[in-house]
Amino acid sequence: MTKIAIIGAGAVGATAAFYLSRETDCDLTVFDYGEGQATKAAAGIICPWFSKRRNKAWYRLANKGAHFYQELLKDLAASGYDGDFYQQTGVLLLKKDDKKLDELYDLALSRRDEAPAMGDLSLLEASQVQDLFPGLTGFARALYATGGARVDGARLTQTLLKASGVPLVKGKVDLEVLGDAYRVGHQVFDQVILATGAWLGEILEPLGYSVDVRPQKGQLSDYSMSHQKLDTCPVVMPEGELDLIPFTNGQLSIGASHENDKGFDLTVDPTITERFDQEAMGYYPDLRQAKVHQSRVGTRAYTRDFSPFFGQVPGLSGVYAASGLGSTGLTIGPLIGQFLANLATSKKPSLNPSDYPIGSYIAKR
């Protein structure tokens, strides 16, 4: 029996726990501090096909991550669990420069053969959008992809952990090397998966590593729109950081910020949330009659070049890590979690780790 510790229960760690729990020869324990987790505070949009990032390796990963949700949902259903954290309601993209919509339509169309999950693409007039999202305004046209989806990060991890049945130990832990084994908390393990996001340095730096991972603060607000039925409305992606993400029970999430200079601060900054709220009201005036249910703050992990990485930690056999997922954590996190689970069990990897070299971001000092 192989004893495996998973440190971090966000999208990566919870998915790794779910897939490893299906192995009969693995004894698992998940450790999670629970403060500032990006996944728990996230309302995610799964729609990488409009991105103009030049990093082709990133796009391949994001596209695979978007498609992986169908596999994950089937695997959860086979285990008797509902994947209601994921809703494929479509995505509306808005641009101030209307000509950019034509360019992005052509870009997405060129990618569709390798991205069937994208669904149907269309350029819609503002009047046509009313059938999809009544009350939306402030634009002439919108680019619509029927396959875009929304994900509730907290429900995602809760479902995966429940389906795994793995013991969850709450609290901060460190990692100690014991010859060919590792101590985590008060237990000894054969292998360790580090899914600690922006806190990866706290685990590896005491062991003599330099880690290129930095915190990024993200804030969003949840509005209660009890007078509106938003269950089937698509996600709205206007220009800039602002997104409008409808959920069931009349919840509308507004955000999220990308603050690179706030460290691990988890306090709500009203100047940020109010700016988003004012921008959102320009697109959805009905928001003025709504109430803020809660504001959420999480800490994302990013690297110097904003690229993710994952694989075996250099010099530590049986220790695997992933970080730097940034704002695409809900798109690529589950896929990377499955990849790390496959590494730990010596299964054929579903990704090429050379595209995302961990040695470029983690090195022995």
Q: How confident is the model at residue 228 (pLDDT cuts 50, 70, 90)?
A: confident
How does DSSP classify residue 109? Answer: H
Same domain flag for 220 and 144: yes
User: Rounded distance, CA 298 to CA 262, Å?
Assistant: 11
Residue 43 pLDDT: 82
> Is residue 48 a part of any domain in this protein?
no
Give Cβ neighbours of residue 273 (< 8 Å, ≥ 6 apart): 219, 220, 221, 254, 255, 295
What are the pLDDT digits (tens) for 330-357?
999 999 999 999 999 999 888 988 889 9
Mark whether 275 and 341 lie in a shared domain. no
Structural domain contains residue 61:
no
What percent of the chain stands above pLDDT 90?
Answer: 88
Domain with 293, as residue range(s), is: 88-149+215-299
60 within a domain of the structure (yes/no): no
CATH of the domain at 29: 3.50.50.60
Torsion sign over Cα 57, 214, 9, 81:
negative
Q: What is the mean pLDDT of residues 59-67?
A: 97
Residue range 159-202, pLDDT digits in tens: 999 999 999 999 999 999 999 999 999 999 999 999 999 999 99
- pLDDT level of residue 39 (50, 70, 90 thresholds): confident
Last residue of a domain, one of 261, 278, 299: 299
From CA 334, how far away is CA 277, in angstroms rounded?
30
Q: CATH number of the domain at 273, please.
A: 3.30.9.10
Question: CB–CB of 216/259 below 8 Å?
Answer: yes
Radius of gyration of the chain (CA): 20
Is the residue at 184 inside a domain? yes
Strands 235-237 and 91-93: parallel
In a domain, 71, yes or no: no
Please count the structural domains in the chain: 2
Query: Is the bond leading into 9 cis (omega within 30 degrees of zero)?
Result: no
Same domain (yes/no): 292, 246:
yes
Q: Are residues 242 and 358 in the same domain?
A: no
Structure tokens, 246: 């409808």
Q: Which two tokens stand for residue 27?
A: 């004894």
Helix axes 11-20, 329-344, angle to 10 degrees: 40
- Amino acid, res. 125: E
Helix (H) or strand (E) holding 277: helix 270-283
Q: Indicate whether 339 and 235 sit together in one domain.
A: no
36: alpha, beta or left? (left if phi > 0; alpha if psi -120 to 50)? left
Task: Select from 253, 284, 299 the last residue of a domain.
Answer: 299
329, pLDDT greater than 90: yes
- In this structure, the answer to whether residues 143 and 223 fall within a common structural domain is yes
Q: What is the pTM of this model?
A: 0.96
13 and 123 together in one domain: no
The answer to whether residue 57 is domain-embedded is: no
225/104 same-domain check: yes
Query: For position 248, what pLDDT does the model report?
Result: 84
Res 226 pLDDT > 80: no
Question: Of 284, 299, 314, which marks where a domain is finished?
Answer: 299
